[in-house]
Structure 1
Amino acid sequence: MNEGILRNFTWPLLITIVVAIGAFSGAFDSEAEEAVETALKRSLVTFGIARSLNAVISVAQGTEVSVTPLGMGLTLAPGEVLDPLNDLVERFSGFMLVSSVALGTQRVLIEISSWLPYSIFLVALGFSSLVLRSFGAQSISEWRHYLWRGFVVLAMVRFVVPIAVVGSEWMYSSFLEAQHVEAEQGISEASSRVRTINAERGAEIPEESVQGSWEKLKEWAAGVKIKAASAVQLERYSEAMKETAKDTVELIVVFFLSTFIFPIAIAIALWRLAKWALARPTIKDND
């Protein structure tokens, strides 16, 4: 009898109280909002770095080299060699935009789940299930069952996003931050070096293009007449960007894990925990 009371009333009561405290205190919400804001700022900064690198590579692709083998003039366009890297950086900037949108969506979900009427309804549902548990009539057993299941599911919706965001940020700080900082610094330095080479060649991006739309900037980069570069300058381009592809891939891995994989894994773990709780015989009547 004591075991049945513990299983059918005491544990559900404790769970409901914990959920009520968590829902109304907003402890998870404030920490989750701070975590998602930090992650969103980090994502937008990296997105800006990617777009900047894309711009300077587009300028460098206008490179032409004049050589005179055996006294014959010849013009080459080795800037096309940069196409694969530029394509990778463009895809990376697109991925960072998606990552930023995902983080912005998580922030909105946190705001929705922390809505006060939702928390009130959630807690009321939990205590309603507890009230029905105090009655032993078989006729209300099914109602009690569905009320408790609804309470657990809504509690998952209430806390899964904040917990996933906080857990993801903790995992980022513990395992990915050093890799992210190093790779981002490498890309920033490469962009700066390429911009310096472009400036030396008179291929600076005009201020109005920087302030204008991205399409105008691309049109300028495609149509600008850039002073011919020497083979030495081409070697400098190659040296400046030799680690860029690796750094770009590392950043994709960092944001893929921290923005998508970690939150999804935490959410799945929480959902399996909820299914385990629902599968326990907490709604059965005592004989």
Structure 2
Amino acid sequence: MQFLSNLSNHQRRLSLLLCLLTLAAGIYSGIVQQRIVNPLLAPLDQQANSALKHSLMLSSASFATARLIDRGIAFVSEAEVGVGVASVKPGQLLKPLQDMAVRYSDVMVVAMTSIGLQLFLLEFGKLAALPLFGGGMLASATLLLLGPPSWRRSCRYLLRGFIALLLIIRIGIPLAAYGVAGLSDWVLTPQREAAEAALQLETAALQRTEQPALSTEQGSLSWLKQMAAQANDLFAAMKSFSDNMVEKLIQLIVVYALQTLIFPLLSLYLLWQAGRWFVLRPIPLTPESAIPAH
């Protein structure tokens, strides 16, 4: 600091410009990213990546369960049971549960999309955030040093913007993903595990019931009888769903909406507000910038 204070204004700018050129060479050669930034942030990246992949696996399994419930109820809904000379379709009584399963599968699709987007941002931050936003920072700092005084305020805002984007993408996104995973494990995991265990228990009978294949030796009449028997078995399995299955599905929708949509969006909103405050906070006037340019 004493050395810099003894330099003239021109020498000080030249020294800072040489520092910027050295930093640019380190960034675009990959030395800063591969040997300093990525190894330093590797534990956070691994924790965030592991948490997101675990959430993606749970969402995929829940989507498969929802589709199984939907297919099972659709199959039962088409089965007719003879009552005297008439026939009825008792599976139609399970239509509300089928509708809820469809809504649940839609939420799982949105959840998997959200997690996939977060994984993309995580990989983007590791590979391209520093060269992209670091280049913007270097260009803004160069304009701040060499540009006319009338550009300084705009260059400072631009420099702050690139710094905020770099910190949000490279550090904020992994930290938010890891924090959301920790919060979800602490608050939501017991409810999710209990609801999924109840669904898996009730759908176990559905997984063992399959549609019979048509055999040319037995003929169409025998196949239809097997279909009726299978439909009755499947209807009995579906009837084993208790009245609280809809409540369990609603509970899972709330849990996954919080874990994969609301919590990540809230964390991104907070990061955005922090970056916006960093960019838009007042810039103190220096004696040089207070003098109007002629």
**What TM-score do the two structures reach when normalised by structure 1?**
0.70
Match of 1:25 in 2: 40
Larger relative contact order (CA 8 Å, sep ≥ 6): 1
What is the DSSP-based 3-state SS (H/G/I as helix, E as strand, rest coil) of the residue aligned with 1:75?
strand
- 8 Å contact 1:60–1:194 — kept in the other structure? no
**Pairwise CA distance, 1:139:** 4.9
Q: 2:76 aligns with which of 44, 60, 82?
A: 60
The answer to whether 1:100 aligns with 2:102 is no
Residues of 2 paired with 1:228 and 1:128: CA distance? 71
What is the DSSP-based 3-state SS (H/G/I as helix, E as strand, rest coil) of the residue aligned with 1:183?
helix
Aligned pairs (5 A) from 1:1-287: 25-27=40-42, 28-68=44-84, 73-115=85-127, 117-123=128-134, 126=137, 138-139=149-150, 141-142=152-153, 143-194=155-206, 199=209, 204-206=210-212, 225-227=227-229, 237-282=238-283, 284-285=285-286
Residues of 2 paired with 1:225 and 1:90: CA distance? 25
Change beyond 3 A, Cα 1:280–1:41 = same
**Pairwise CA distance, 1:149:** 2.7
Cα distance per residue 1:54-103 (max 9 Å; x no partner): 222223224433334xxxx4322221111221122122222212211221
Q: Which of the pair has more CA radius of gyration?
A: 2
Residues of 1 paired with 2:88 and 2:69: CA distance? 24
Change beyond 3 A, Cα 1:172–1:39 = same
**Pairwise CA distance, 1:247:** 1.0
What is the DSSP-based 3-state SS (H/G/I as helix, E as strand, rest coil) of the residue aligned with 1:227?
helix
Residues of 2 paired with 1:276 and 1:98: CA distance? 30
- 8 Å contact 1:66–1:228 — kept in the other structure? no
In the alignment, residue 205 of structure 1 is paired with which amino acid?
Q
Aligned residues: 244
Residues of 2 paired with 1:249 and 1:132: CA distance? 55
- 8 Å contact 1:145–1:283 — kept in the other structure? no
What is the DSSP-based 3-state SS (H/G/I as helix, E as strand, rest coil) of the residue aligned with 2:228?
coil
Q: Which runs of 5+ in 2 are unaligned?
A: 1-32, 215-225, 289-294
- CA RMSD, 1 decimal: 3.7
Change beyond 3 A, Cα 1:258–1:103 = same
Percentage of matched positions with identical amino acids: 25
In the alignment, residue 111 of structure 1 is paired with which amino acid?
E
Change beyond 3 A, Cα 1:229–1:50 = closer
Change beyond 3 A, Cα 1:255–1:82 = same
**Pairwise CA distance, 1:36:** 0.8
Residues of 2 paired with 1:125 and 1:193: CA distance? 59
In the alignment, residue 107 of structure 2 is paired with which amino acid?
F
Residues of 1 paired with 2:157 and 2:235: CA distance? 72
In the alignment, residue 286 of structure 2 is paired with which amino acid?
D
Residues of 1 paired with 2:274 and 2:230: CA distance? 64
**Pairwise CA distance, 1:255:** 0.8
Residues of 1 paired with 2:275 and 2:136: CA distance? 16
**What TM-score do the two structures reach when normalised by structure 2?**
0.68
Change beyond 3 A, Cα 1:56–1:233 = closer
Residues of 1 paired with 2:259 and 2:213: CA distance? 35
Which has the higher mean CA deviation after the structures are superposed, 125-134 or 174-183? 125-134
Change beyond 3 A, Cα 1:85–1:273 = same
